[in-house]
Chains A and B, each alone.
Chain A
Amino acid sequence: MNARPRERPLLRAGDLSKRYSVGRSIFPAQRRTVHAVDTVSLDIWPGETLGIVGESGCGKSTLGRCLVRLTEISSGSLEFEGRDISDASQRQLRPLRRQMQMVFQDPSASLNPRRRVGDLLADPFRIHERLSASEMADRVAELLRRVDLSPQHASRYPHEFSGGQRQRIGIARALALRPRLIVADEPVSALDVSIQAQIVNLLADLREEYNLTYVFIAHDLSVVRQISSRVAVMYLGSIVESGPTDEVFAAPRHHYTAALRSAVPIPSIDRARRGRLVLKGDLPSPMNPPSGCRFHTRCPAATPICRSERPLLQSIGEGRLVACHHPADG
C-alpha cells in the first residue's frame, strides 16, 4: 500500500488463520479440520472503513472476531499499532479492549435482559474508569443522545426496545470508551430496510465525529458499498479481491466478485433485464474445499491451472489486489 507511506496501519494481520476441528470422533483420522480463515493478510488504516463481504460460511465473521482477539487465532500475526498482539493474554489485552470494540448482528443476545439499559451502558465505565455515580449517569445520557435515543431510555429494559433501537444500544455500548476501531459484524442485516438505512447513517455520522476506523462485515453488497472506503471479498476462508470500494464494484477483477455483484437484485426496472452472471451450484463445503483456486468449481473462466494451482493475492496497482490466474478485464 504505497498510497499511504507515512502512516502505519492501525491493525495488521499477517497470514492469519483460524482452524476448527469438527466431528466428535475419538479417532483422529476421522476428525476433520475446517479452515474458517485461511492465511488472510490485511492492513487496516486509521480512519478507513474496510468492508468485508462474502456469503455465509466464507469466514468473514470468524475473521472479524479474530481481528479483535475474541476468538483465538490458530496461526499468523496480528499487530495493533505495530505491537504484536497475536499471543497476548487476555489480561494483556485488557487495555487494548478500550481501543477495539465489536458490534454484533443480534444485539439482544449480548444485552442481559434483566438489567436496565443504563446499567448495561455504565458497565464499561465501571470496568475501565473510576467515576462517580452522577458522572456515570451523565456519560450514559450523553451516549444515548449520541445514538439518537433519549436519556430517559436508561431506565428501561432491553426487551422494551425495537430491533433498531437495540442496535443503537449495542453501538452506544461499543462507543462508550471512545475506541479507535469498531468491528461491526452484520450490524444491520436483521433490521428492516428503513431502519437499516438509519443505522448506516448513524455509523457514518459517528465515524466523522469520533474519527473511528471500522471493519464492516456484511453479506449485503449494497450496504457495504455505501459505508466502506475499501472492500475485501472473501470466499471459503480467503480474500479473493480487495481494493477501493468504487473501483472494485465498478470493475471487479475476480470472477467471484463479478458474480456476486451481478447477483444482487437492483430495485430498478431499467437494469433488471441486463445480462446477468448466475453462478452454477452451491458453495462447496468448507470442510472439503476444492483444490487449487477454491472458486474454480463455479468459475466461468476456469482452466486446468485453476484446478491445480492456488492463485496468490497479488497487487494489480491502485491499491487493488486479486487472487486469480485469469483476472477479468473489469
Chain B
Amino acid sequence: MVAALGFRLGQMVLVMFGISVVAFLIFFATPGADPSARIAGRNASQETLIQVRHDFGLDRPLPVQYGLMMNRLFVSRDLTSFVNRGQRVIPTVISAIPVTLSLVGGAAVLWVLGGLIVGVIAGATRGTFIDRALMILSLVGVSIPVFWLGEVANLLTQSRWHDSWLFSWVPPLGYIPLTENPWGWFKALVIPWFTLATLYVGLYGRVLRASLIEMMQEDFIRTARAKGIGERRVVLHHGLRTSLVAFVTMFGLDFGALVGGGALLTEVVFGLQGVGKLTYEALQTLDLPMILATVIYAAFFVVMANFVVDVVFVFIDPRARDVG
C-alpha cells in the first residue's frame, strides 16, 4: 500500500514535470513569442532588448533557461510579472486560491446534491412525464452558456431588481474572505454558486440517470427485489450505490479542472479575483510568467484530483482494492 502510494506520487511528479516542460516550450520557445520583446516593451531599442535578454537569461541554451525559470518559480519564488512590474507571481496565485476554492467548493456541493436528486428521480421514474421534464430541464441547464447566465443574474440582482425585497441582500460584485465575514462570504458567493452549478447539475443528472438505468438492468437488482426489500432501498442501496463509481470519477476530474482555473468565466463575470480570472488577465496581456505559474498550478490540481479519485475509488469499489 505504501509502495503503491509512493509510486503514484512519483508518477504525479513526473506528469507535473512533463507539463511544465511543455508549457515552458509553448510560451517561451515557440518562434515569434520572443519574451524579451514583451518585457522590454514596445519600441525598445535593440540594445535594451539584448540587455533584457541577458538579464533574464534568455540568451542561454533552452534547458538552462528552463532550469532558471523553474528555480525562480519554485525555489526563490521571486519570478515577477512582465506586465505589473514587481508583482510576484507565486504570492499572487496563492492569494487567488481561496477565492477559487470557495467558488468551486460551494458550487460542487450544489451540483452534487442537485445531480443526485435529478438523476435518481429521473432514473426511478424512467419514461414518465417527470423523467422527461427533468431531462429537458437538465438539457437546458447544460446548454446555457455560463457567462450569459452570470450576466443575466447580475443584471437582475445588481441593478434591475436590486432594490426590490427579493435581492436587496445581494452585496456588490467581488469576494469577501470567509475569515473576515462568513455571512458576507456566503452572500457574495450564493449567486455565483448557482450560476456555476447549473451546467453541472444538468450534466451530472443526465449521466447519473443513464448509469442508474443501466445498473437497474443488472442481475443483482433482480436479486435485491427478490429479497423483498422495498423499491426505495433497491434503488438507493443497490442501484445508486453501484452507479456512484462513474459519478465520483467524473466529479473528481471536474472539480480538479475547475479549481485549476476552469471556473474562469464565472470568476470574470462576478469579479472574483480567483485563479481563473488571473489566468484570463495574464492571457490578455500575454504575461508569460503568470501564464506559466497558472498553467502549472492547474496541472497540479488536475493531477491531484486524479490521485484523490483513485484513492476514493478504492473505498467505493471493493473490486479496485484487490488489483495490483
Using a CB–CB cutoff of 8 Å, the interface residues on chain A facing chain B are 23-27, 30
B226 within 8 A of A: no
Most buried by B among A23, A24, A25: A25
Residues of A contacting B324 in the complex (Cβ-Cβ under 8 angstroms): 23-25, 30
Q: Is the CB of A24 within 8 A of B3?
A: no
Residue in chain A with minimal CB distance to B10: A26
With the chains together, A30 CA to B324 CA distance in Å? Answer: 8
Q: Return chain B residues, CB-CB under 8 Å to A26.
A: 7
For the complex formed, measure the closest distance between the CB of B6 and the CB atoms of chain A, giving whole angstroms.
11
Collect the chain B residues with CB atoms within 8 Å of residue A23's CB: 323-324
8 contacts between A and B (CB under 8 A): A23-B323, A23-B324, A24-B323, A24-B324, A25-B324, A26-B7, A27-B3, A30-B324
A-facing residues in B309-324 (Cβ within 8 Å): 323-324
- Chain A residue contacts of B7, Cβ below 8 A: 26
State in angstroms the CA–CA spacing of A30 and B322 once bound together: 12
Residues of A within 8 A of B3 (CB): 27
Instruction: Report A-chain residues with C-beta under 8 Å of the C-beta of B323.
Output: 23-24
CA distance A27 to B4 in the complex (A): 10
Binding site for A on B (CB under 8 A): 3, 7, 323-324
Closest to A31 in B: B324
Q: In the complex, A25→B323 CA distance in Å?
A: 9
In the bound complex, CA of A26 to CA of B14 (Å): 15
B314 shortest CB reach to chain A, Å: 14
Further contacts, 5 of them, CB under 8 A, given A24-B323, A24-B324, A27-B3: A23-B323, A23-B324, A25-B324, A26-B7, A30-B324
A25–B3 Cα gap in the complex (Å)? 10
Instruction: List the B side residues contacting A30 at CB < 8 Å.
Output: 324
Q: How far, in whole Å, are A26 and B3 apart by their CA atoms in the complex?
A: 10
Residue of A nearest to B11 (CB): A26
Closest beta carbon of chain A to B188's beta carbon, Å: 47
Closest to A23 in B: B324
Among B3, B323, B324, find the residue whose CB has the most chain A CB atoms closer than 10 A.
B324
The 8 A-B residue pairs with the shortest CB-CB distance in the complex, in nearest-first order: A24-B324, A25-B324, A23-B324, A26-B7, A27-B3, A24-B323, A30-B324, A23-B323
Cα A251 to Cα B7 with chains together (Å): 56
Please, which residue of chain A has its CB at the minimum distance from the CB of B4? A25
The CA-CA distance from A26 to B323 in the complex, in Å, is 12
Report Cα–Cα, A30/B7, bound state, in Å: 14
Q: How far is the CA of A26 from the CA of B324 in the complex (A)?
A: 9
